[in-house]
Chain A
Amino acid sequence: MDTGRKPGPKILTYVLLGFWAITTIYPFVWVLLNSFRKKGLIISDSFSLPLGEAFTWDNYLTAWERSDFKNAYLNSFLISGTVTVAVVILAGLAAYGLVRYRFPGRGLLYSLIMAGMMFPVFSTIIPVFRMEAVMGLAGTGNRWLSLLAVILPQIAGNLCFAIIILMGFIQSVPIELEESAYLDGCNVFQIYFHIIIPAAKSSFATVAIFAFLWSYNDLFTQSFFLRYPQERAITGLLNEISSQAGVNYGLMAASVVLVVIPVLIVYICLQKHIIKGLTAGAVKG
């Protein structure tokens, strides 16, 4: 696509892009460095490398001892994993049905989904809490029930966005593929699993990733339903640390790193998949 342009603008392009990249990376590097720095030194000399005298593991030891990171990770992954799987399955089926079928009420359903995107979690949380309290899910103190109490509204909260995104991609799958499969004797479900899902694979990945992240990062819903220590998920745990750590800045930095590192690893593994999906485009030739 690039038709050999002058080098001048190109350098400027890289400078601008590089600048934004630094603003994204450097804060994390700064926190990482300071999580290894001895108490007290952070506020006087936070830019140097924490070597020799200044180096310490203490912040991590304190963080791991004081807070139940292991349990919080388990809770977070249980919640977000379930939400992701459910959203991908439900949204995929619904999007396929809405794109390919013509039926009365289709426009209405589409508007309902668009409207659903406008419903912030604030506007549903109180009745959902009441409903789940009546159902015996919320506020019981039982860890698994509480996790389920978070999972269900989070699935609903992510569905509308997921359906809209998937509709866009399924539309771009050429219908000829499905017609030839049909002539070969496939039924609609076989077409869905063997044609649509492989063709729109990248968009399914995108939707899954967003659903996972939004669920994982959602402090609001979690703080309504997860109120006992053993139920706490990662964001809740961090929120607690931030209110308890006081002036122990090293502990705060170490806690941030403990939360960011696993996500970073998962992200680096997955990003190839995301970016391949985003750039290749679902169907090109």
Chain B
Amino acid sequence: MSSMIYKKKSPLILFLVPAFLFLLVYLYYPFFQNIINTFMKIGGLGRAAEGLNEPWYENYQRLRTDPYMRTALKNTLLLTVCTVVFQVGIALILALLVDTIRVGAQFFRTVYFFPIVISATALGLMFNLIFLYKGGMVNQLLLSMGKLPTEVKASGKVLVQWLDWKDQSHFLFTMLMPVMWQYVGFYFVILITGLNNISPDLYEAAALDGADGWKRTRYITLPLLRNVLCTCLVLAITGALKVFDLPWVMFGAGMPENMSWLTGTYMYDQTFNKMNVDYGSTIAVLIVVLGVILSNVANRIFRPSEDL
């Protein structure tokens, strides 16, 4: 319903041009240039292309056969699934719970959101300490609960078989858990905002009709929250594909044995450390394609009702 105020279109230029100019120069142009780069031979970061690759699809061929790329893809998909299930899942449960209480609601909101304000680099360092091999927080806890095998030497020294949280059988948990943990609060805040936008009149009407507790959640809250949930899912999926800092600080270049690569860390390593700039662009294109496909799937499943 466009009001008569907005009949005159000339101010529109001032509203739209600055933002879209920025997007054009720093988002859309580089995005397409990046796709072109995947077919080029580029000698180093910031250098001009030296011509077409031989054959022009060389990088895509490499993408298909690169075993580390396969690892990175597998890990990233796992991360995405975990993100959707655990981050959004836990956030939804917490949001529904906080919505039912009054005392302390503010406290929980403040606390849950807090990890998001901290740079993932600091969190990475923190989790490095927590999962430290010899005497990290988790290992000390396990030791005090008697869960770690110990051996008392003749000299009276106690030898502990510490659990290596970054070894081949534990690294997935150690890598994924902090990422999950950090962003629960983000979706929690979005969902809580959605819950607050639901008119109390609806709940009153439902209460008059005798619906309470679970029924209220099932038939009023969840359907009305659907749009917000869909937003959360899309954000969670695209967010999972962007994860970089925490795994990079904790695992660096694919430790252990090149098993912990994610698409993001692998792209960075190829571009910045190995100077395979055109191959790095190709990995980036793959990340975008994945994002588009996965969020379309999410949209199909939880399609929000039409209102732009």
Contact = CB atoms under 8 A, between A and B. Distances in A.
Contact of B28 (A5, A97, A116, A178): A116
B124 A123 contact: no
Given A128-B30, A223-B272, A238-B125, A97 B47 contact: no
A159 interface: yes
Interface string A46-74: 11000000000000000000000000000
A194 interface: no
Interface string B1-28: 1111110010110111011101101111
Interface in B32-61: 33-34, 37, 45-48
A255 B34 contact: no
A175 B111 contact: no
B135 interface: yes
A85 interface: no
Contact of A101 (B9, B30, B37, B263): B9
A216 B192 CA distance: 25
Contacts of A219: 119-121, 244-245, 248-249
A13 B6 contact: no
B102 interface: yes
Interface in B237-268: 238, 241-242, 244-245, 248-249, 263-264, 267-268
Nearest to B291: A118
A98 B12 CA distance: 9
Interface string A251-285: 01101100110011011100100110011010000
Interface stretch (B67-75, B90-98, B147-155): B90-98
Interface string A103-141: 100010110110011111111111111110100001100
Given A189-B11, A217-B120, A126 B111 contact: no
Contact of A126 (B15, B34, B184, B189): B34
Contact of A267 (B114, B125, B277, B291): B114
Interface residues of B, number: 109
Size class of the A contact interface (CB-based, 8 Å): 35 or more
Nearest to B112: A24
Given A120-B238, A182-B5, A278-B193, A252 B129 contact: yes
Contacts of B238: 117-118, 120
A183 to B, nearest CB: 9
Given A112-B23, A179-B5, A263-B119, 7 more contacts: A1-B200, A14-B104, A20-B112, A28-B126, A122-B242, A130-B48, A156-B26
17 contacts: A17-B101, A21-B111, A93-B18, A93-B19, A94-B20, A102-B2, A112-B20, A119-B31, A122-B264, A122-B283, A156-B25, A175-B1, A216-B119, A218-B245, A219-B119, A242-B124, A279-B196
